[in-house]
Each structure stands twice: as C-alpha cells, then as structure tokens.
Chain A
Amino acid sequence: MDEFATATAAVSAALAAGARYADARVMYRRTEAMDARNGEIESLAQTEDAGVGVRALVGSSWGFFAVADLTDAAARTAGETAASIAAASATVAGPAVDLVPTLAATASWASVAEVDPLAVPLSEKGDLLVAVTATMRDAGADQGEAMYRIWDTRKWFVSSEGHRIDQHIRECGAGINALVIGDGETQRRSYPSFRGQYGTRGWELVRDLDLAGHAQQVTDEAKALLTAPPCPAGTTTVILGSEQMALQIHESVGHAIELDRILGWEAAFAGTSWLDLAQLGSLRYGSELMNITIDPTVPGSLGSFGYDDEGTPAQARDAVRDGIWVGVLAGRDSAAMAGLDYGGSVRADGWARLPMVRMTNVGLLPGAHSLDEMIAATDDGILMDLNRSWSIDDRRLNFQFGCEIGWEIRNGRLGRMLRNPTYTGIGPRFWRSMDMVGDTAVPWGTPNCGKGQPGQTGHTGHPAPAARFTNVRVGVTG
C-alpha cells in the first residue's frame, strides 16, 4: 500500500470535483490500554484503525469526508464526497476563506522512542500494574488502581499545494491512584497525577516514573487525608504545585488563546474566549512573571510533532510575554481571518475527524525560586497539588479547581495536611496576582483534552513550574 498515493488520489478527486484547495490524511493508529485494580488486571484493550480523511475547500466553504477504506477507489470517492459536502456548506455561506501560506514541504518526522512501547512484553506491563496495585491494596487502599496507555500513530499528509509529509508519533504514559473510602466521602492520591504522565516518548517514560516506588506513599497520604482537617474557607496566598499549574495553564490560558474560540467558531459548545483580538499585543494577561510559550518542538512532550495536520512545521512562539498577551494558537484559515501570518496548531484526533485548532505544548517559563524558597517566603498560605476537579466557564474566565491534597503554610513552614482543597478565581485577575514562579518546569502531558463536535480528544503538553498567587479565594464546598 502506498499511503501517499491514496492521499493523493483523494486530493486529486476533490480538485476535480470543484475544490480550489484540498488535503488528505491517511492514518494508521494502534493503541493499547491496560487497567489494573487491587492486584488484578481489569481490562486489556488493543485497537487498530486506519482510514483517510479529506478536506475540500469549494469557494469559501469547507467539506470533510472520512472513510475506513484505503483503496484507491474509496479515496477518490472520499475526495468527491468532501467536495460535494463543501458545496452544501455554501447554502449558508460565510466570508471569504483564505489560508496563510506555508511551505509545501516534502518531509518525514518521527518522535524518539528509546523503547518501543508496543514491543514491551504484555507480561512485563501486566506484572508492573498488578504488583503496584497489590502494594496499594496491602497498604490499606480500598481501591488501588493503575493504568497505562500507548498510542502509535503513522500519518501521511498530502495537500493540493504540494505537501507530502509522513510522521510517526509514539506516545505513552502511566499512573497510579490510591482511593480510600471514608464516612460519606472518598479521598484519592495519585502519582504522578490522576490520569498519569504522558509524552511523545517510548516505554522509558514509564520506567522512569518508578510507579512501584510511590505506591506506599500515595496510599499513606490518601489514608491521612480522610482525617485531615478540611481546607478552610477564606482568601489567602496559594502555592500551586507543578502538576496543578499544568491544569491551570491548560484551562485558563491554553483554551483562551485558541483562535477559533476567539473568532467565535466554537461558541455553541466549547465556548468562546474573553480575549479580544483588538487587544493582542497590549492586554495585560498576568503579572510580569507570566511568560507562556506555544512550543511543539519540546522533545518528548505530549504536544510535540514535526508538522501540524495542515503541514505547517512545528515552531515555538510566545503567547504571553512579561504578562502581555502576544500570541494565539491558530490554523491557516483562522489566522487569515484574524489578519495573522501564522498557523501551526491544527491537529485531528484520527483520520475520521476534521482537523481543528488544538493546544500543542503551552507552558509557563520557569522563574527564579525553588519550591522551598516560595514556601519559606510565605507567612500564611496553602500549598495545593495534584488536580482532582476542574470547572471553568464558557469564556475561560470564572474557574473553580480542586486538588487532591493541601498543606497549611505558617511562617514559612509547611504545617497540617488539608483535605479537599479548592480555589476559585477569575483568570486574568488570578494571573496578575502571581508573584513567584518556580525554577523547574515539568513537561506534563494531558491526554484527555475534549473539543469539537463530533467530539475529539486531544493530547496536549504543559511545561509548568510551581507558582505562588496572592488573595485567592479557597475552600469552596457544596
């Protein structure tokens, strides 16, 4: 099978059917997912899927058709159908669509995997999860859970402009959770985070996590949380650990700077953004310590690639510099609509989904202070870490986030453990209160970013250090 030929056939057919631009993605994806609980494997699922998705631009209207058939005939029909769907779109036509230029590259790219995760014996993987969940169970967890996920994606991209790009991206990750059940509530501690840690790396990522080495600790902390005092309600200084900062960035910055949201293209479902394009380059998003980058070139981070799904090469850029909003996540058509000259942030969740603006690696640049220094500099506050719940409004302004664990800070020292720590705020007000930033950024991977209709699951990366915020409302409960 010549995947480029299949994609080319689809594009050619779309052009012949009236498209002025067309692109096609052939993708093969293999996944593997294992879950274990209390010393037993609960499920093992391996999937393989393959197909071609074709986009056609007829006039200024888009159409997309995808089919799980990689024969030449099916690809040609897919191209023709995409063009006919685009023609139907013209029934309710919009403004003229342009695409910002991008070099029509012929290229090949692959993520680096020292150990192919799909080649690791299932017995080794199963033994790992069984052992670590048994440890948590034996240590007193009501539910000791562990999981890993693997994605192996090969894609071939062809456009009517001459792109011819193949990529091989391997991603994997794992994590453990200890759940204890008390009187009317549950407490959970996870490592390295609730859904685990993920990257565009091989199984060496999972080995480096040392899940077994953390099983006892997470269980002990979960049990301790059941009897810990609740997070008090009030307004105080909050230090967020690195993993919670990744969530904070994802929800209150990453989504807000998606250009399709800013333009109103996601208004009916995912929502819009409080950002106004007229203020790009001048709006104060946060304190001067806030430097956010969009960088799909970070080696091994979950949002990394060689080329996005429109063939734009990966390139780092600033989103927020010294607290000022300066950049967005964009695609070729949204960028043109907004008068910008760059795309590069478009991906599709598989061959059957049309590509759309997604976060890549959106991260906070590290600052000058260690976590110990931030604690020592805090007279009265709370340290919170590891996300447990998250909720934010449709404009990405009003948020309420909960963490698994908190600690009082008194006179520069950690004090009592606190259970059910939550905090709430308004995005820019919160970011403007950031007065200390940690000196070590961890490239957290989020494998479950939902967007689009039909729904798509995106893989995003968020390099994040710990950080301190002042005058934060905490302890909101039901």
Chain B
Amino acid sequence: MTVDLDLASRVLDLVRAASPGAQAEVTVDRTEQALTRFAKSFIHQNMTDAGIGVRLRLHDGGRTASGTTTTADADGLRALVDRTLAAARLCPPDPQWPGLTPPTAVRAAAAMDEDTAQATPAARAERVRAFVDGAGGLETAGYCGTTLSQVTFANSAGHTAQAQAAEAAMSCIARCPDEDRAPADGVARLVTRRLADLDGGVLGVRAATKARAAVRPVELPPGRYEVVLEPAAVNDLLANLAMYGFNAKAVAERQSFVELDRVQFDPAVTLVDDPLDGGLPFDVEGTPRDRLTLVDAGVTTAVAHDRRTAAAAGTTSTGHAVPGAGAFGALLCDLRLVPDSSRPRVSGEADGPAADADVAELVSQVGRGLLVSDLWYTRVLDPRSLVMTGLTRNGVWLIEDGQITGPVQNLRFTQSYPDALAPGAVLGVGTHAIALPADWGTRTYFAPPLRLASWNCTGNASG
C-alpha cells in the first residue's frame, strides 16, 4: 500500500505546484470485486473487476470542486489535477467549506483475512456447489462474492490514513415448485470477514427448508398485523433509517423525522454504527471513525455528520462522509441494531421456516401474527415521516398461538418505519445480530430479528 501513498502524494504535489495555496485531499481506492452468480442451479455469470479510483477534492481561492479518474499514470493524474483546478476556479465561492481534517490518529482496522482477500473463482464456485447440493434438488439462484478494498487517504494538511478490508458474502434462494403458481422461494444470506465462515451447504439447507414450507400460500386480507421480521427484513429498516433518518443534512433541512435527545423509539431499540467489525476506520475526508450511538434505549442521541454538516451544526464530524456528500449528506456504513442482551443468546438452526432458533423464539411469543422473511422494493412515500411502501418476499407465514400454521401470499405494506419502532411498538428483539450484505454499495448492516406490535399491510396478491 506504500505505492498508493506515493500515488496520493504525487497528486498533492501536482496540486501544490499548480496552486500553492489550494487545500486538497486525495483518496486512492483499490478494489477487487468478484461475484460468482448462479441461477437455475448453474453458474451463469462469473465476474471479477480490479479497479483503481483516484479521487481529488480541492478548495482553491475559496471555491470547491472534485474529480476522479481510473487512469493512475502520470498523464492521468496530471489531467485529474488540471481538470479539477479548472473546475474549482469556475465554481461560485464556497463560504461553508469546512477545511481539511488535521493530522489525527486513526485506529487500526480489524485484521484482514488473507484467504478472503485472495479468494479464487474456484473457492467461490465450491460454495455455490455446496448451496446447490444443500438445497436438495430444488432450483437455486444467488451469488457468492468476495471483495478486497484498499483505501489510502492523504491531504495537504499532512493527514494520512490507510486501511484494507476483505469480506465474503452469499445471498441465495431456493425455489420450490408450487403447482400452477410461481415457485415458492426461501432465502439465506450472510456476509462475513472470513470466507471460511461461509458454509454454502448450511445456507442451502436453510433456504430449501423455507422454500418447501412456503408452498400453497393462502391470501390474507389487508390490515395491521403483529409481525416477526427476520434479519433480512430488518436490514431494510436499517438501510432506510440510515439514508433518510440519521443523515445530518436531512435533519438540518427538516426532511428527517429525527430529533436529538427525544424519546423516539421503543426502549428496546439501541442503534450503533461501529466499524470495529471490519469496516474502514476512516471516511473519504480522512476523519477517523469510531463507535457512534444513534439511539440509546429509545432516545435519539446522534446523527451522521461529515465535516460540512458538522461545521454548520457546531459539532465535529462523525466520520461518515461519502463521495458526493455535498448534495446528499453523510451515511452510516456499519449500522447495528443491538441485540437483546438481557436473555441468553439463542443460536442454532430451527425446525421449520424460521431462519434460526433466535427467530423461532420470537415466533413462539406471538398470539396471532406474521413471520416475514424479507422486504422488497421498498420506496419512500414521504421522507419526513419515513412512510415506506414495499412488499414482502421470500416467504411469509401465519403465526397462531406461537406456532407457524401455514404460508401466506406476499403482502404489500405501507408503513412508517419510525412508527413501527416507536415506544411500545417493539415487543421483542433477537439475541444476536446477523451481518447482511447490502444490495447496493459497500455498507454492511447487522440485524437481529424483531417482533413488532403492528405492521400495516395495505394490499395482497389480488391487489
């Protein structure tokens, strides 16, 4: 990674030579992303891309601009600097420029697993094979992916930081034939810092169990239901809370429901963002990242800041700047809903369609409600109230007197996510959180299962 530090330094030198007073920050992002994708139980897409991105943001003469390139040779870097300086000179003044991150200690990232970083197509294909075999003859689809990220940061204030991380993930379904209906799908997902921890066979068995239990679903009428959301479904709540709720820019613009120091959630809800589990320990502005508590036992305590929103709010950056943050704002990257530690950890597989024993325990507490595996195509109806619409997917079951009594057809919901987690609304939290891959981007969320008092189902398969 010394090469990348030299590369970043060269960019800074070029900026200094062209405009000695400019403030500049450089990020060199070297990523190797590999995905072995399968459908109809065979590998149909298998890709690797090895890329480098050099991102320059500078503030020159009171004006700000940024640029990126993947051409890291001398000509490419010079073109990047020239182009970005020219752009800055044509931009309007930026009086809100927050300045550069000063030299600051950055804690070391978690140790990277080399086998994951060097994972081969054969290693990924083995896990796909295991999933297909584990599904016991059902049609299967999904992927096994590995990603290696090496990030280097340097700015003209003298601050540097480097980190690398590797992760492996599987997100797969098994599909059970269901007479003249569409196949019934069962899902299994996991992301981990160690490829060796990905057991395709276990995931295949789990997905197939769910799929077989989802055939001949009945239609339920729209209405409000008590629900147990499996971690894959809770993942969507966390993703949207991160994007629309705990974004300091959205809060400042009054487009978020978040209000600091208010009881906005059930006491069972504690949300933290912590890169300790293998996320990068600094953001694109070089700000060190540390554990950040967003909600503490139901009380909203923090939002995600970058340097710009922090300066405007009179506080310090939390280290959640992302590229393009000027328009969008800061984004949580390693958000975790803290599991219930008041009970012994419940782990292991479960009989039936519950993803694991932790889910099954929450199910056993429900008088009448629904077990929901996954949420799909969720969209915001109003960002301020975070009312979302979407559908269930990959299996829904009716729970009666603590027992799963039968599968249910997918339901459309229209639900405010904060309201679903409001005081009194959370009836149970699982005892451990599962790390789940994001559909887009590089964020990882950690979700336990949840039991919620009310989920507003506004439509069913009939419309």
Interface residues, chain A, CB within 8 Å of chain B?
33, 35, 37, 40-51, 53, 61-68, 81, 84-95, 121-123, 126, 130, 142-143, 147, 179, 181, 184-186, 263-269, 271-272, 274, 352-354, 356, 388-395, 397-398, 400, 402, 420, 422, 424-426, 429, 450, 453-455, 473, 476-478
Contact = CB atoms under 8 A, between A and B. Distances in A.
B462 A478 contact: no
Contacts of B49: 53, 65-67, 352-353, 454
A28 B225 CA distance: 52
17 contacts: A41-B91, A45-B323, A45-B324, A48-B76, A49-B53, A65-B49, A87-B121, A91-B128, A94-B43, A269-B171, A352-B49, A388-B381, A391-B379, A391-B391, A397-B461, A398-B410, A478-B456
Given A142-B254, A352-B49, A398 B461 contact: yes
Given A35-B327, A391-B378, A50 B71 contact: yes
A248 to B, nearest CB: 15
Nearest to B392: A393
B105 interface: no
**Most chain-A Cβ atoms within 10 A of its Cβ — which of B69, B388, B456?**
B69
Most chain A CB atoms below 10 A, which of B46, B51, B129, B381 = B46
B275 interface: no
Nearest to B207: A268
Contact of B70 (A51, A89, A391): A51
B184 interface: no
A314 B436 CA distance: 40
Interface in B246-279: 253-255
A84 B36 CA distance: 13
Given A265-B39, A352-B49, A476-B414, A94 B44 contact: yes
User: 6 shortest A-B CB distances, which residue pairs?
Assistant: A94-B42, A43-B326, A88-B121, A91-B125, A35-B327, A122-B90
Contacts of B36: 88-89
Contact of A394 (B66, B325, B327, B376): B376
B132 interface: yes
Nearest to B120: A88
Contacts of A81: 48
B69 A49 contact: yes
A393 B391 contact: yes
Contacts of A274: 182
Contacts of B40: 94, 263-265
Given A85-B121, A267-B173, A400-B412, A126 B255 contact: no
Contact of B382 (A65, A147, A185, A425): A185
A130 B90 CA distance: 13
B429 interface: no
Contact of B46 (A50, A53, A62, A429): A62
A51 B462 CA distance: 47
B92 interface: yes
B46 A88 contact: yes
B126 A41 contact: no
Contacts of A388: 381
Contacts of A53: 49
A454 B387 CA distance: 28
A354 B173 contact: no
A37 B51 CA distance: 33
A267 B39 contact: yes
Contacts of A354: 45, 47
Contacts of A185: 382, 384-385
A122 B87 contact: yes
A453 B37 contact: yes
A266 B39 contact: yes
A67 B129 contact: no
A198 to B, nearest CB: 17
Contacts of B325: 43
B172 to A, nearest CB: 6
B431 interface: no
Given A46-B84, A265-B44, A92 B132 contact: yes
Contact of A66 (B37, B48, B141, B389): B48
B103 interface: no
Given A48-B69, A89-B36, A352-B51, A61 B463 contact: no
Given A88-B122, A390-B379, 10 more contacts: A44-B65, A48-B69, A48-B76, A49-B53, A66-B50, A184-B384, A267-B39, A397-B461, A424-B412, A453-B143
B69 to A, nearest CB: 5
Contacts of A353: 47, 49
Interface string B33-73: 10111111111111111111100000000001111111110
A92 B175 CA distance: 17
A262 to B, nearest CB: 12
Given A179-B255, A268-B172, A398-B461, A47 B132 contact: no
B185 interface: yes
Contacts of B390: 391
B327 A91 contact: no
A47 B47 contact: no
A48 B324 contact: no
Contacts of A65: 47-50
Contact of A181 (B72, B121, B255, B459): B255
Contacts of B173: 267-268
B121 A143 contact: no
Contact of B92 (A88, A90, A91, A130): A130
B339 interface: no
B179 interface: no
Nearest to A182: B384
B32 to A, nearest CB: 10
Nearest to B382: A185
A22 to B, nearest CB: 14
B416 interface: yes
Contacts of B83: 46, 48
Contact of A63 (B46, B76, B456): B46
